[in-house]
Structure 1
Amino acid sequence: MTTSPDSEALDGRTVVLIGGGSGIGLRVAHRVVAAGARVVLGGRSPQRLADAARELGEAVATWRTVDVTDDASLASFFDGIDRVDHLFTSAGTYRVGPLRELSAQDAASPFTSKFWGQYHAVRHAAPKLSSDASVVLMAGAAGARPPGPAPAYAACNAALEGLGRGLAVELAPVRVNVVSPGTIDGNLWAGRPAADREAAFAQYRRDTVLHRLGSEDEVAHAVLFLFTNGYTTGSTLYPDGGYTLR
């Protein structure tokens, strides 16, 4: 029986997934566990994390609460982890909207949660990273093609792509890459008003080359590629259906 490259690269490894209790993070967790890895799930909801760990199998999945906007919380989270072979952070809560409408605090929220949250997660993980570890940052296709009047959100995603390149240089031989999805039909959109969701989905289908939405599992597949391809670093991968090409 032959093993897949993913299984060879991930077997026995420790994968830390902040935001791993739901959505894309949980889909990544399922894939890496299937490939033989152990996962440490992080997030703010103990119930969600406990449910995810049971779903994955408590022999291979542990969890710890963490708030990526709280430096002390991140420090405590990583203090309890001996070794990090792969890190992916998909957690983040923020507001999106036009320059003239958002408060200063709401406009800053993508940077506070998504950009600085990932920056500081990597900073705290750095002493624990193995010599051949990898980090995958989560940005979004909006950084390359703003979807509308949401300049701070677009700028945050573009900044994360730049952060990935900068960290790839500084942390080498640890590899650092970025995944920048388009609109995904999954957990993030499920809690939004139906009318807003359907309008956004219809517009995205019109704007892409493939004329469809992506799935959480398709993004998870891209993350696994970046975890396991040992010659890819400083790159941004767009599982966006061709949105950035139009």
Structure 2
Amino acid sequence: MLAQEKYVSKLRGHRVLIFGGSSGVGLAVAEGVIEFGGHAIISSSQQSRVDQAVERLKSRYPNAKSSVAGSACNLLSPNLENSLHELFKKHGKVDHIIFTAGDSLYLPSIQDWSLDAIIDAGRVRFFAPLIVTKVGSQYLNPGPRSSITFTGAALTQKPRPGWAVTTAYASAMHGLVKALAIDLKPARVNVVDPFATRTEMWGDKTEAELEEIGKDIAKDTLTGIFAYAEDVAEAYLYTMKDANVTGTVIGTNSGWPLASRSAE
């Protein structure tokens, strides 16, 4: 290895399984892994979406077609553990697990929450990461160069009206990564807390509509930007590359928690 490659080669040859990797931040992480010479394995709930994302990556990186693979895994499946074992057995040992998967947000007033709805709100964003860790840790290569990175939310630092349950689950991830970092040592466990990001989560918004949304979001930040997925993806790439970071919350939020404008 050449001296000047000490940093860019940190993910070279590493195998990274990305839950939620067919779009948004997860797909951006996959791009970064490939650009750094790693092998990206993407997973999403639908095989058609996985296939589309794999083809998109192969088209974008024609010299790295063998570095991309993917399989569907429904995180809401009642047989999730078995599905995860099948996924990992198919793709083999990995060096890193990235969890960017999410689902539609349910944001009623606190008086309208039921116990079932509260539990459902955490199935993908909290309970699934626990089961992924239970199973995935068995297929994680040993040592501090391996890691698991979850996704939380910047609103843990600045809760907004109507987001109590979502904030609770995101905050729980902070405690979870600290405990898992101890339980899984020397493998590392961290969580990334992003703020609003320009991804497919905004649905069928036109470019003009996204620009207006971005302007409003930017007013609540210090940097004045509406972040792109490739900006936020840097935080996940960092947690994989730095063998010295574990049990840590990484913020990527444009300074939103420090901005002075009050949430309405």
Taking structure 1 as the reference length, what is the TM-score of the superposition? 0.90
Structure 1 position 173 matched with structure 2 position 186: yes
**Counterparts in 2 of 1:152 and 1:55: CA distance versus 1, 3 Å:** same
In structure 2, what is the Cα distance between the partners aligned to 1:240 and 1:86?
23
The one-letter code matched in structure 2 to 1:66 is C
Q: Secondary structure at the match of 1:238?
A: strand
Contact conserved, 2:181 with 2:246, CA < 8 A, in 1? Answer: yes
Could you say which residue in structure 1 is the equivalent of 2:70? 63
Structure 1 position 28 matched with structure 2 position 29: yes
Q: CA deviation at 1:231?
A: 0.6
Could you say which residue in structure 1 is the equivalent of 2:96? 86
Structure 1 position 220 matched with structure 2 position 227: no
Structure 1 position 129 matched with structure 2 position 140: yes
Q: 76-85 or 186-195, which moves further after superposition? A: 186-195
Q: Secondary structure at the match of 2:9?
A: helix
Unaligned runs of 5+ in 1: none
Q: 1:100 aligns with which of 93, 96, 111?
A: 111
In structure 1, what is the Cα distance between the partners aligned to 2:239 and 2:94?
15
Deviations 1:47-104 (A, max 9, x none): 2211221222341111111012222322322232321101101112143312123444
Q: CA deviation at 1:147?
A: 2.5
Contact conserved, 1:143 with 1:156, CA < 8 A, in 2? Answer: no
Contact conserved, 1:68 with 1:118, CA < 8 A, in 2? Answer: no
Contact conserved, 2:154 with 2:251, CA < 8 A, in 1? Answer: yes
Taking structure 2 as the reference length, what is the TM-score of the superposition? 0.85
CA RMSD of aligned residues (A): 2.3
Deviations 1:10-46 (A, max 9, x none): 1111100111111111100011011111121111121
Could you say which residue in structure 1 is the equivalent of 2:5? 3
Deviations 1:188-235 (A, max 9, x none): 123479999788655532322223221111111111011101111111
Contact conserved, 1:91 with 1:114, CA < 8 A, in 2? Answer: yes
In structure 2, what is the Cα distance between the partners aligned to 1:157 and 1:192?
26
**Counterparts in 2 of 1:201 and 1:69: CA distance versus 1, 3 Å:** same
Percent identity between the aligned chains?
A: 23
Q: 1:112 aligns with which of 101, 107, 123?
A: 123
Q: Secondary structure at the match of 1:32?
A: helix
Contact conserved, 1:108 with 1:152, CA < 8 A, in 2? Answer: no
Contact conserved, 2:199 with 2:228, CA < 8 A, in 1? Answer: yes
In structure 2, what is the Cα distance between the partners aligned to 1:4 and 1:53?
29
Structure 1 position 242 matched with structure 2 position 255: yes
Could you say which residue in structure 1 is the equivalent of 2:83? 73
Q: 133-142 or 94-103, which moves further after superposition? A: 94-103
In structure 1, what is the Cα distance between the partners aligned to 2:53 and 2:251?
27
Q: 1:182 aligns with which of 165, 183, 195?
A: 195
**Counterparts in 2 of 1:193 and 1:164: CA distance versus 1, 3 Å:** farther
Unaligned runs of 5+ in 2: 59-64, 260-264
Greater Cα radius of gyration, structure 1 or 2 = 2
Contact conserved, 1:64 with 1:77, CA < 8 A, in 2? Answer: yes
